[in-house]
Amino acid sequence: MIKMRLGVFSILGLLFLSLAVMTSSAQADGVPTPQIPKALQKTEKGHAELMRRNHMDLMLHKRDKTVHEGIRGKQYSLKACVSCHAVPGPDKQPVSIKSPKHFCRACHDYAAVSVDCFQCHSSKPPSSAGLVNLLEGFLKR
Amino acid sequence: MNIDTENRESTNTARRNFLAGIAGMAGVSIASGVTLFSFAEAKEAGEAVTSKVRWGMLIDTNKCEDGCTKCVSACNKENGIGTTGRAETDPQWIRKVQLRDPKTGNQTSLPMMCQHCAEPPCVDVCPTGASFKRADGIVLVDKHSCIGCRYCMMACPYKARSFVHEALEDQKSHAPRGKGTVESCTLCVHRIDKGGIPACVEACADEAGGAMLFGDLNDPKSEIAKRVAKYASRQIRADLGLNPGVRYQGI
């Protein structure tokens, strides 16, 4: 008898749980997606699609080129990513990786993939007049 | 493992032999109007560094004042090296060393940093290949593959390397540094790749005696090559045969 009750309860519990999950995550298309902040500047066509799938490989390749061969172009450099994808915080300054609003975290938190880059690399662009203007433009959007 | 020494571009003992042949002319003062650095042929941004260039430094200890630490603070500022308040474990890329001849009491002050050896022992001992020498002679740590074993720190006769013991925040974007890796003077590689000079050399020229000269040792037209050819200079612990890129005058 006790066993049966436990079984009924557990089935009920599972039902409730699945219902709760369904209602909380229900969105227009039924699948929750990460909220990705827009970049500060426009870039070439197909950049987003290319980077979405390949950013880790492109950056890994670029990383070795930079460290060992001194090739420091803007393309695929982490510094360029961080500069264009800066997200302003409440103080209108770019947020660091500590903030869940950070561009990289928006996706990486969602996918539960940890980012080690910023243990050493700066997650914020160096402050400049151009950056201040771009961040203001971002906030006005 | 078989190492083909013939093909190792790092091996360049011809210059050393040539320099060893020059008669000593210690204590010669430098003519006025000598510039403190020279620009080598600028590298294109997308171009890889080559062994045509050998970056080096010449330090005139006669112009290096006791107690002056302008080069040290410039390095710390440039590369974002702060203090934790625990000096024993603080990283240090460049330090001032005081030499004293016990017989005469003569004292010399000089900056000591990674000597950017042509035959770096730190590279020989590194188990992961993280410690490496760039084609243009700059010895670096690839922190992506450094496991923090600190063999290189043991191997370096100049005590030039430091270990980062504590987690860091707000690093400079041009100088990534992090806990658990070994680091040392990069000769301000981020500046060199843009055609600049190391921060310590710049600070010494602007704020102190201008004791440091940076340039391409392989370019016979460069100021540094002319000076090492004309005046006697020494490599510290030259007996080890490491052929450092940093040379000293007046010691």
Predicted confidence (pLDDT) per residue in B151-185, tens digit: 999 999 999 999 999 999 999 999 999 999 999 99
Q: Does A73 touch chain B (CB under 8 A)?
A: yes
In a domain, A8, yes or no: no
d(CA B248, CA B251) in angstroms, rounded, equals 7
The verdict on residue A89 lying in a domain is yes
Q: Are strands B162-163 and B246-249 parallel, antiparallel or unpaired?
A: unpaired
Per-residue pLDDT of chain A (141 residues; tens, 9 = 90+): 455 555 555 554 444 444 444 444 445 678 888 889 999 988 889 999 999 999 999 999 999 999 999 998 888 899 999 999 999 999 889 999 999 999 999 999 999 999 999 999 999 998 777 787 888 888 777
Domain count along chain A: 1
Q: Which chain A residue is nearest to residue B166, measuring alpha carbons?
A: A119
| Domain of A80, in residue numbers | 35-140
- Mark which residues 82-101 of A lie under 8 Å from B by CB: 82, 96
Structure tokens at B10: 């790092």
The DSSP secondary-structure symbol of B93 reads: S
Residues B236, B233: Cα–Cα separation, whole Å: 10
User: What is the structure's pLDDT at A11?
Assistant: 52
Looking up tokens 């302003």 gives A88
Q: State the nearest Cα–Cα gap between A124 and chain B, in angstroms.
A: 8
Does pLDDT of B11 surpass 50? no
A65 Cβ under 8 Å from any chain B Cβ = yes
Token pair for residue B123?
């590279």
Domains and CATH numbers, chain B: 38-249 (3.30.70.20)
Q: Measured between CA atoms, how close is A35 to chain B, in angstroms?
A: 25
Of B22 and B37, more confident: B37
- Yes or no, beta carbons of A63 and B190 under 8 Å apart: no
pLDDT 10s digits, B62-88: 999 999 999 999 999 999 999 989 999
Closest Cα partner for B184 from B154, B168, B163? B163
Which of B53, B78, B140, B171 is best to mutate for the A interface (most A CBs within 10 A)? B171
Listed residue (B159, B92, B185, B46) closest to A65, CA to CA: B46
Alpha-carbon dihedral sign for residues A70, A71, A74, A75:
negative
Test B134 with A82 for CB contact under 8 angstroms: no
Interface check A126 vs B, CB under 8 A: yes
Selected residue with higher pLDDT from A17 and B89 = B89
Q: What is the pTM of this model?
A: 0.79
Q: Do A121 and B172 touch (CB under 8 A)?
A: no
- Judge whether B30 and B231 are in contact, CB under 8 Å: yes
Pairwise CB contact (< 8 Å): A70 & B170: no
